[in-house]
């Protein structure tokens, strides 16, 4: 039998596990919360993608995907978004090193690349709209704009988040022990990127069965 | 490390300007207070949903009754179900998650106390928003499942279904935030020694429920957003006219809707698994089997949704597959029932009110479970679909199951929460009245259903031959509030005059009984060491010690905050703006019938409300994130 008194080494070890000192799984609460949230987000985007797929090629009227898509433009914007994930990795590494200058540069760079992606998306939406594709026009318009729109909204939230971190880093700096705050922003940012890879594949790479111009 | 009294550390004494009274409740981040707020609010909605049920039963008491119009009857059954599912049973369970789970795992609070407050305020605001429809004369009337295309604008012009969609979006956000919070709390905030398999079964069932919430609510959220866009912006998601498929709505709804059934019942199963061992003076029989059955139910719960759609014509392969998974999910449920019975077998039984409700739960839930297995067979289901037989089934599962389990939990933990015992005599009167009444109310519905009475009809003809059992059912339904009045008097009297409970009135095995009743604000003077899955019994009857006679020198409690309320108000305003849009469209359609939704311009009031909501939300979030919590 082990009697746990407050002086025993076992208690001391156990006390190191208290919420103030650590967690049961050894993962910070904030990080675990974000992984859980992202699991939920998988089902959110999964449902949007499922809706898109189940209506693929079922539009009763044009414009059809082949009528509006500009593959080159979307490929460039996708590349920019992917590269923003690289900058995000550099930003986190800079925070963990305590390198303030690089932190500022890479955080701003990540946000900027996100903004460029959003600019491309705005351009793309405007172009499609000019070609007659609206939210209400057909099932393709409905499912395409809502799915990519929600993704764009997620990118916009991410940009706002990154710029907020940038301001914090600028005004008072982000100390190494607070790198977790940047890490969870990175988790979110990478997730939003991965969602785009899925959407890009589903929407642009898999040939659409409906007839186009 | 010496046992230093709290008062020796002025830094940890309550701040001089500690909030008091109503402001303390508005700004509280204490899981116990938030749990109480959940409980009281949900009980209020439970009464509201009950009144709706009583009016339904009054309308059906005789053939050709004209008590309410057909239109209002539609609103009554829609809001009765919506209220009971989302505003009564779910938040009543949430009350127990909040109050009991941190105590049972030996934690001082949940992982994110302010997020917890945020969830509560969203729940309250969402509940008020959806019920605001009654005051404005547009109660939702499309059924709690809101099948497209009936729920689309072309068949439901009025803003009624907008209230339903918007209300559920707000409530869903609340549940998602709470889901993340409790998953992290249970996985990460356990006291030293509290391994996963040492957790009380109630904590386990809470964990499974939170995973179901986190993974099923995003599905209905997307479905609701798609329906809302169809109704307010003119998209084509579920409109056959433009190639949309109403069946997609059914899939999205039941992909959420069936896990939701387990979200409603698993917490009650967890409570029963705490009450039965305590009053049988035996550990739960085969506790790991009960835990793994709960996990299996959680997984299988995502694979049975189309048994709600056997009449939709999905084809023999799909029907056979979902029939098989549905029968399969009966197995872990049956395992649990036998484990509960085996727990009582040979035990030293004490039939307290809490125990009676738990035993009643087993009996009634088994009846509901058996009629559920009948629905797993497509040929039988084809006959029973949309009949009162299904109404009987769901009420045995949700009233006989979930509500009975929740009352068991209330009688069991009331002394821990208030420090006083509920009167056992009144409790047994309550149990007897409720048990008898609900069987009189719901059992005849089996007969009516088999006799062909469709559900959701506002009246019937004498020649249909359904008068007698409808009369009996109504008498039973109106007996239920008598038991509830006894219960409410009991609570009101006992909370002030009941005998003192002491720390451990039931001789419990789990950690919450090791601390005072009601618990101190910091729950535990010292974080306990957990030697087994029944730590307090080990300390009382074995030679283990929980180490609770110490006092931590540093107890950090987060300060009160009103930011969660502001953020919740922002979210509610953004969603609520779509009600303005719904009203705009309705007015426009009255003036110019046949106009398309996209031809109706967005009003400046709508746009201003969205903008206001976003600004309030951002203000709430930014001040929240930068609020000092040390």
The phi and psi torsions of B420 (rounded to 5 degrees) equal: -130, 150
The contacts of residue A13 (CB under 8 Å, 6+ apart) are none
CA distance B435 to chain A (A): 39
Residues of chain B contacting residue A41, judged by C-beta atoms under 8 Å apart: 218
CA distance B117 to chain A (A): 16
Length of chain A: 213
Which option is the CATH number for A28-205: 3.40.718.10, 3.40.50.300, 3.40.30.10, 1.20.120.80? Answer: 1.20.120.80
CA distance A107 to chain B (A): 19
Domain range annotation of chain B: 21-625
Residues of chain B contacting residue A143, judged by C-beta atoms under 8 Å apart: 237
Judged by DSSP in three states, B500 sits in strand
CATH number for the domain whose boundaries are B21-625: 1.20.210.10
Q: Is the pLDDT of residue A11 over 90?
A: no
Nearest beta carbon to residue A60 from set B229, B234, B243: B243
Does the beta-carbon distance from B189 to A23 stay under 8 Å?
yes
Q: Provide ipTM, 2 decimals.
A: 0.94
- Maximum C-alpha span of chain B: 82
Residues of chain A contacting residue B236, judged by C-beta atoms under 8 Å apart: 136, 138-139, 142
Q: Is the pLDDT of residue B61 over 50?
A: yes
Chosen for mutation from B198, B207, B242, B571 (greatest number of chain A CBs closer than 10 Å) is B242
Residues of chain B contacting residue A55, judged by C-beta atoms under 8 Å apart: 243-245
CA distance A44 to chain B (A): 5
Cβ atoms of B425 and B506 within 8 Å: the answer is no
Q: Confidence band (pLDDT; 50, 70, 90) for B630? A: low
CA distance B174 to chain A (A): 13
Burial class (CB in 10 A: 0-12, 13-18, 19+), B393: buried
Nearest beta carbon to residue A27 from set B188, B218, B527: B188
Does the beta-carbon distance from B215 to A40 stay under 8 Å?
yes
pLDDT (average), residues A60-79: 92
Q: Confidence band (pLDDT; 50, 70, 90) for A5? A: very low
Query: Among residues B205, B276, B186, B198, which one has the least CA distance to residue B538?
Result: B198
Does the beta-carbon distance from B188 to A36 stay under 8 Å?
no
Q: Which residue of A has its CA nearest to B235?
A: A136
Instruction: Quote the percentage of chain B above a pLDDT of 90.
Output: 92
pLDDT (average), residues B77-101: 97
Q: pLDDT at position B415, please? A: 97
Residues of chain B contacting residue A19, judged by C-beta atoms under 8 Å apart: 107-108, 189
Question: pLDDT tens, B184-223?
Answer: 999 999 999 999 999 999 999 999 999 999 999 999 999 9
CA distance A25 to chain B (A): 6
Sign of CA dihedral B501, B403, B81, B565: positive
Cβ atoms of B235 and B322 within 8 Å: the answer is no
The angle that helices B90-104 and B404-418 make with each other, rounded to 10 degrees, is: 50
Cβ atoms of A191 and A41 within 8 Å: the answer is yes
Question: pLDDT tens, B3-28?
Answer: 333 333 334 444 445 667 899 999 99
Q: Is the pLDDT of residue A19 over 70?
A: no
DSSP per residue, B217-272: HHHHHHHHHHHHHHHHT---TT-GGGT--HHHHHHHHHHHHHHHHHHHHHHHHHHH
Q: What number of H helices and E strands is found in chain A?
A: 7, 0
Q: Is the pLDDT of residue B289 over 80?
A: yes
Question: pLDDT tens, B504-544?
Answer: 999 999 999 999 999 999 999 999 999 999 999 999 999 88
Burial class (CB in 10 A: 0-12, 13-18, 19+), B601: exposed
Residue B585 preceded by cis peptide, ω within 30: no
Question: pLDDT tens, B587-596?
Answer: 999 999 888 9
Nearest beta carbon to residue A14 from set B193, B215, B544: B193
Residues of chain B contacting residue A47, judged by C-beta atoms under 8 Å apart: 218-219, 222-223, 252
Does the beta-carbon distance from B180 to A40 stay under 8 Å?
yes
Instruction: Quote the percentage of chain A above a pLDDT of 70.
Output: 89
Residues of chain A contacting residue B111, judged by C-beta atoms under 8 Å apart: 29, 33
Question: pLDDT tens, B361-394?
Answer: 999 999 999 999 999 999 999 999 999 999 999 9
Burial class (CB in 10 A: 0-12, 13-18, 19+), B337: middle
Q: Is the pLDDT of residue B2 over 70?
A: no
The phi and psi torsions of B454 (rounded to 5 degrees) equal: -75, 150
User: In this structure, how many other beta carbons lie within 10 angstroms of the beta carbon of residue A20?
Assistant: 13
CA distance B237 to chain A (A): 7
How far, in whole angstroms, is CA A11 from its chain's centroid? 42
CA dist B60 and B67 (Å) reads 9
CA distance B304 to chain A (A): 17
Q: Is the pLDDT of residue B253 over 60?
A: yes
Q: pLDDT at position B555, please? A: 85
Q: pLDDT at position B21, please? A: 87
Residues of chain A contacting residue B314, judged by C-beta atoms under 8 Å apart: none
Nearest beta carbon to residue A51 from set B243, B248, B554: B248
Question: pLDDT tens, B388-432?
Answer: 999 999 999 999 999 999 999 999 999 999 999 999 999 999 999
- Scanning the structure block, which residue is given the tokens 């179900």? B81
Does the beta-carbon distance from B214 to A146 stay under 8 Å?
no
Q: pLDDT at position B17, please? A: 52
Q: pLDDT at position A126, please? A: 96
Q: Confidence band (pLDDT; 50, 70, 90) for A32? A: very high
Query: Among residues B265, B269, B301, B297, which one has the least CA distance to residue B90?
Result: B265
CA dist B116 and A80 (Å) reads 38
How far, in whole angstroms, is CA B570 from its chain's centroid? 24
Residues of chain B contacting residue A132, judged by C-beta atoms under 8 Å apart: none
Cβ atoms of B368 and B334 within 8 Å: the answer is no
Question: pLDDT tens, B437-465?
Answer: 999 999 999 999 999 999 999 999 999 99
User: In this structure, how many other beta carbons lie within 10 angstroms of the beta carbon of residue B241?
Assistant: 10
Determine the Cα angle at A187 with ends A184 and A193, to 5°. 145
CA dist A167 and A104 (Å) reads 9
Nearest beta carbon to residue B214 from set A12, A40, A146: A40
Q: pLDDT at position A212, please? A: 54
Residues of chain A contacting residue B194, judged by C-beta atoms under 8 Å apart: 24
Interface size between A and B, measured as CB pairs under 8 A:
135
Distances, alpha carbon A98 to alpha carbons A84, A93, A109, A167, in Å: 21, 9, 18, 16
CA distance A75 to chain B (A): 27
Q: Which residue of B has its CA nearest to A61?
A: B242
Q: Average pLDDT of chain B?
A: 93
Domain range annotation of chain A: 28-205
Q: pLDDT at position A211, please? A: 63
Question: pLDDT tens, A160-213?
Answer: 999 999 999 999 999 999 999 999 999 999 999 999 999 999 999 988 887 654
pLDDT (average), residues B484-505: 96
Chosen for mutation from B108, B193, B243, B622 (greatest number of chain A CBs closer than 10 Å) is B243
CA dist B260 and B9 (Å) reads 47
């Amino acid at each position: 039998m082990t009697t746990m008194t407050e002086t025993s080494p076992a208690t001391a070890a156990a006390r190191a596990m208290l919420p103030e000192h650590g967690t049961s799984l050894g993962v910070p609460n904030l990080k675990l919360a974000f992984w859980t949230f992202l699991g939920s987000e998988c089902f959110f985007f999964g449902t949007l993608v499922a809706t898109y797929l189940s209506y693929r090629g079922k539009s009763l009227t044009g414009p059809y995907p082949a009528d509006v898509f500009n593959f080159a433009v979307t490929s460039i914007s996708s590349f920019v978004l992917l590269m923003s994930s690289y900058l995000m990795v550099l930003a986190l590494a800079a925070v963990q090193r305590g390198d303030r200058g690089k932190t500022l540069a890479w955080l701003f760079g990540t946000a900027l690349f996100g903004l460029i992606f959003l600019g491309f998306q705005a351009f793309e939406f405007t172009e499609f709209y000019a070609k007659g594709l609206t939210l209400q026009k057909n099932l393709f318009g409905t499912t395409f704009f809502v799915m990519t729109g929600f993704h764009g909204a997620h990118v916009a939230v991410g940009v706002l988040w990154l710029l907020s971190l940038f301001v914090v880093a600028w005004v008072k700096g982000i100390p190494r022990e607070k790198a977790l705050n940047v890490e969870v922003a990175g988790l979110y940012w990478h997730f939003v990127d991965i969602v785009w890879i899925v959407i890009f594949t589903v929407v642009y790479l898999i040939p659409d069965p409906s007839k186009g111009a | 490390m010496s046992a230093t009294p709290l008062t020796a550390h002025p830094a940890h004494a309550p701040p001089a300007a500690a909030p008091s009274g109503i402001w303390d409740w508005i700004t509280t981040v204490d899981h116990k207070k938030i749990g109480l707020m959940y409980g009281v609010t949900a009980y209020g909605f439970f009464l509201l949903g009950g009144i709706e049920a009583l009016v339904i039963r009054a309308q059906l008491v005789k053939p050709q009754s004209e008590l309410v119009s057909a239109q209002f009857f539609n609103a009554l059954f829609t809001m009765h179900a919506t209220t009971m599912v989302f505003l009564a049973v779910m938040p009543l369970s949430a009350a127990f998650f909040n109050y009991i789970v941190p105590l049972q795992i030996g934690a001082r609070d949940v992982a994110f106390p302010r997020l917890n407050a945020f969830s509560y305020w969203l729940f309250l605001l969402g509940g008020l928003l959806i019920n605001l429809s009654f005051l404005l004369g547009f109660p939702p009337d499309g059924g709690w499942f809101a099948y497209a295309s009936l729920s689309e604008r072309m068949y439901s012009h009025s803003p009624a279904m907008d209230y339903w969609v918007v209300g559920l979006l707000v409530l869903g956000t609340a549940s998602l935030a709470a889901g993340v919070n409790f998953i992290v709390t249970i996985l990460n905030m356990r006291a030293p020694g509290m391994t996963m398999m040492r957790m009380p079964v109630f904590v386990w069932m809470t964990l499974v429920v939170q995973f179901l919430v986190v993974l099923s609510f995003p599905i209905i959220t997307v479905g609701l957003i798609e329906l809302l866009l169809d109704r307010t912006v003119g998209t084509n998601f579920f409109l056959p006219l433009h190639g949309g498929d109403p069946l997609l709505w059914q899939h999205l709804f039941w992909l959420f809707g069936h896990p939701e059934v387990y979200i409603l019942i698993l917490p009650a199963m967890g409570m029963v698994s705490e009450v039965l061992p305590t009053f049988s003076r035996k550990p739960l029989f085969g506790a790991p089997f009960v835990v793994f059955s709960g996990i299996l139910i959680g997984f299988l719960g995502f694979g049975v949704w189309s048994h709600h759609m056997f009449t939709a014509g999905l084809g023999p392969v799909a029907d056979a597959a979902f029939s098989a998974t549905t029968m399969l999910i009966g197995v872990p449920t049956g395992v649990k029932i036998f484990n509960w019975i085996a727990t009582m077998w040979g035990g030293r039984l004490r039939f307290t009110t809490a125990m009676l409700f738990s035993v009643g739960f087993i009996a009634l839930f088994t009846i509901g479970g058996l009629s559920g297995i009948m629905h797993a067979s497509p040929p039988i289901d084809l006959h029973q679909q949309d009949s009162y037989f299904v109404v009987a089934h769901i009420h045995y599962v949700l009233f006989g199951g979930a509500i009975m389990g929740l009352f068991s939990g209330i009688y069991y933990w009331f002394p821990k929460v208030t420090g006083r015992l509920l009167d056992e005599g009144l409790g047994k009167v309550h149990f007897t009245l409720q048990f008898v009444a609900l069987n009189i109310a719901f059992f005849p519905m089996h007969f009516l259903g088999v006799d062909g009475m469709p559900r959701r009809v506002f009246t019937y003809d004498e020649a249909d031959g359904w008068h007698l059992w409808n009369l009996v059912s109504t008498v039973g339904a109106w007996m239920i509030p008598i038991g509830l009045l006894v219960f409410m008097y009991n609570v009101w009297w006992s909370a002030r005059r009941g005998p003192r409970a002491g720390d451990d009135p039931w001789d419990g095995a789990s950690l919450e009984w090791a601390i005072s009743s009601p618990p101190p604000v910091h729950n535990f003077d010292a974080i306990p060491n957990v030697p087994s899955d029944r730590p307090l019994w080990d300390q009382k009857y074995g030679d283990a010690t929980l180490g609770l006679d110490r006092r931590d020198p540093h107890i950090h409690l987060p300060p009160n905050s009103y930011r969660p309320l502001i953020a919740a108000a922002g979210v509610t305003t953004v969603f609520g703006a779509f009600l303005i849009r719904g009203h705009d469209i309705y007015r426009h359609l009255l003036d110019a019938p046949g106009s398309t939704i996209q031809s109706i311009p967005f009003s400046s009031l709508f746009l201003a409300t969205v903008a206001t909501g976003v600004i309030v939300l951002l203000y709430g979030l930014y001040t929240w994130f930068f609020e000092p919590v040390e």
